[in-house]
Amino acid sequence: MADEKIIVSTAYFPPIGYISALVKAEEVVIDLDETYPKQTCRNHTNICGPNGRQTLSIPVNKPGGNHTKSRDIRISYALPWRKTHLRSLEAAYSNSPFFLYYQDYFRPVFEKKYDFLADINSEILEILYQVLRISGRISFAETYIRHPEGMRDLRNELTAKQAMAICKPYTQTFSEKHGFIPNLSILDLIFNLGEEATEYLQFFVSLR
């Protein structure tokens, strides 16, 4: 059963379970006023490369220390992470069935310099909605919502480091070497399933 309204955090190339929840919701609220936690998909994404599961992280700066809100998290360019992420994606998915078709949708993200984490994540989400043909409303909370009413709170459920999903296996680029790895970045699903990714999200994924 679909959720009428959900509240989520911002996310960098979100995991499949996150996007599945968005697909099934009539309305999505993104909370940028939460206190930013470390080691979540807010600035991390997981892919499957030649050596198995691989985490790609955007280095960030927290101007307000541990009390910095997600909307105020700044991206650090002290290291060439954009080049590293792009090369990692090419190494992981250049042989996948749909990489060549979809890569041009996402490549501009790594060519543009964003000041804030929320900005790159918002642009990524816009691209994903276009690629996956997702319809539905997205809004941003005007202030921190401590106790959401009339909506399902998925801010921690979808982004906790240990969060997993019950996924129907599909063929991944390195399945023969590493087996099926569930709930990777939505990019894994798109590059491997192409147009079938949207249907997969609607019917075959549920959080546990």
Sign of CA dihedral 90, 85, 19, 164: positive
Characterize the bridge pairing of strands 205-207 and 165-167.
antiparallel
User: Cβ contacts of residue 66 below 8 Å, gap of 6+?
Assistant: 35
Tokens for 117, please give them: 């984490």
| Total tally of structural domains belonging to the chain | 1
Alpha carbons 75 and 36: distance in angstroms, whole number: 13
| pLDDT tens string 30-39 | 999 999 998 8
Smallest CA-to-CA distance from 41 within 155, 149, 119, 126 is with 155
Beta pairing partners, 181: none
Q: If you average pLDDT over residues 204-208, what whole number do you get?
A: 53
| pLDDT tens string 57-103 | 999 999 999 999 999 999 999 999 999 999 999 999 999 999 999 99
- Identity of the residue numbered 197: A
End-to-end CA separation in angstroms for the chain? 14
Smallest CA-to-CA distance from 3 within 198, 151, 164 is with 151
Contact in structure between 92 and 47 (CB atoms under 8 Å): yes
Predicted pLDDT at 208: 46
Has residue 167 got a pLDDT over 90? no
Contact in structure between 11 and 119 (CB atoms under 8 Å): no
* Triad 135, 168, 47: Cα angle to 5°: 75
Average pLDDT, the chain: 91
Alpha carbons 114 and 129: distance in angstroms, whole number: 20
Q: If you average pLDDT over residues 145-165, what whole number do you get?
A: 76
Predicted pLDDT at 77: 98
For residue 105, what are the CA distances in angstroms to 6, 127, 187?
A: 27, 7, 11
Q: If you average pLDDT over residues 41-67, what whole number do you get?
A: 95
Characterize the bridge pairing of strands 5-9 and 27-31.
parallel
Alpha carbons 73 and 134: distance in angstroms, whole number: 27
Q: What is the pTM of this model?
A: 0.92
Which residues constitute the domain of residue 152?
5-207
State the pLDDT confidence band at 203, using cuts at 50, 70 and 90. Answer: confident
Helix-, strand-, coil-residue percentages of the chain, each rounded to 5: 35, 20, 45
